[in-house]
Amino acid sequence: MSSEGPTDSNTNPQNRSGEGQPGLWAAHAEYIKGAAESSIGTITGSQAWSASGDHDKTHARAALQAAVEHRDPAKMGYGRAEEIAGKLTGCEGMKHEGAASRNKRQD
């Protein structure tokens, strides 16, 4: 991580799944990275770190939304585990998607 600002993670092959769809786990990792960078920026007073973190979080939200749009909860969801992970991390999307996949599997 440099203090020069955000990097373009669109070129990172790990941000895509095998089918060319945005990777759900990669997007979550990018969001966590952004949150950490923002925290470092707040603690140190570094505007560059804060801006980089905000950029990463914004990009990750878009990637998460794209991943969710192409996801069939009945086939690709993690059910209760994903729902609990969402509750622990405060991620509303994970809670929602976990509940949806759990409910689809019970039908």
Cβ contacts of residue 62 below 8 Å, gap of 6+?
none
pLDDT for residue 51: 96
Residue 31 and residue 56 in one domain: yes
- Categorize the per-residue pLDDT at 4 as very low, low, confident or very high, splitting at 50, 70 and 90: very low
Residue 57 and residue 95 in one domain: no
User: Residue 103 is part of which domain span?
Assistant: 73-107
**Predicted TM-score (pTM) of this structure:** 0.60
Residue 28 and residue 63 in one domain: yes
Tell me how far apart the alpha carbons of residues 56 and 41 are, in angstroms, rounded to a whole number: 13
Closest CA to 31 of 81, 76, 89: 89
Is 77 part of a structural domain of the chain?
yes
